[in-house]
Structure 1
Amino acid sequence: MAGEPRLRIYRPEDAPGICRVALACFEDSIRPCYEPDGCQAFLAYILPEAIAARQSDGCSTIVAEWEHEVIGVLELRDFSHISMFFVEPEFQCGGIGRRLLTRAVTLCGKARPDLTELTVFAAPRAVEAYRHLGFSADGPERVESGVRFTPMRVKLR
């Protein structure tokens, strides 16, 4: 890939692209780890209208864009928890995730200067990627409503 993807704050027209990226990642690595009710919950969570609704309900989102297409997304809840973090499979391992996380940490620091850590519920196949980004497990893997995850956190200071 020549050049770098552009990172920017969510715009309403991004919701379908975010849904597409999340769905590609879900099919690539998440679906096999979730129970049927977890799959149903995830698919409802990534609907464009659900993504748009969360933006006015305590979430802030950063997108990575390449040639006018969304290729990555990081959604923050209350500037303290990563509620969605995906990079299109063909663009993974190229530093886009790290750039999204760095931008998210900057946003969190501006919105909540007292914040000392960022949390995430990592899907089973994402745990190693989060470890690579500096996160550590904050308890054992759990299953809630059919969704398997490991609670993780990263210290910001």
Structure 2
Amino acid sequence: MSDEVCYRQMERGQEPVVFSLIQRVFDACVAPHYSPSGVARFYAQVSETSLREKAEDPVGGVFVAAKGAVLVGMVALARGHHIALLFVAPEYQGKGIGRALVALAAERCREIDRHGKTMTVNASPNSVPFYEKADFVPASGERDDNGLRFTPMTKPMS
């Protein structure tokens, strides 16, 4: 297996593998910070179908990170400027994969809107420190939307 991580757009038909990664990382890293209703709301909003829709949306996109044949991360962009999903396998966190996926999302934002001023994300409680290191700043305090806890954050586009 190659030591190099490859980044690319999610291919059609790859939704089950990407969704499996999301489930594994969400259950291990995010769900412990949510109430049971928050976990249920997350899974009501995220599915293989929603991944396909984001990938095919002209103001969206889904990118993956793979090490050899193993999927190690993913990012989904929505509305041309919003990181809707970002997940990196726990054993690959802290290795620059998340930062590279955010850079891909930023590149896609610039393709969609060359005059866009900011990227946004609703950061889960455990991911706020990551986004702060990636130059996002809180737009407000933490919110709880029927069990989904998040901090709205923004990052200037440069």
TM bracket, shorter-chain basis: over 0.9
Partner of 1:134: 135
**Matched AA of 1:105:** A
Superposition map of 1:1-150 within 5 A:
3-57=3-57, 58-150=59-151
User: Is the CA contact (8 Å cut-off) linking 2:51 and 2:62 kept in structure 1?
Assistant: no
CA displacement, residues 2-33 of structure 1 (integer Å, 9 cap, x when unaligned)? 63211001112221121122112212221121
RMSD (Å), alpha carbons: 1.6
Give % identity.
Answer: 29
Shift >6 Å, 4+ stretches: none
Contact 1:24–1:89 at 8 Å: present in 2 too?
Answer: no
Shift in CA distance, 56/66, structure 1 to aligned 2, threshold 3 Å: same
Q: Number of aligned pairs? A: 157
Per the TM alignment, residue 143 of structure 1 is displaced from its structure 2 partner at its CA by 0.3
TM-score (norm 1): 0.92
- The CA distance in 1 between the partners of 2:80 and 2:10, in whole Å, is 14
Q: Return the TM-score normalized by structure 2.
A: 0.91
Work out the CA distance in 1 between the residues paired with 2:112 and 2:142.
30
1:57-90: CA deviation from partner (whole Å, max 9, x where unpaired): 4431111112223211110002200000011111
Specify every segment of 5 or more residues in structure 1 that has no aligned partner in the other structure, as ranges: none
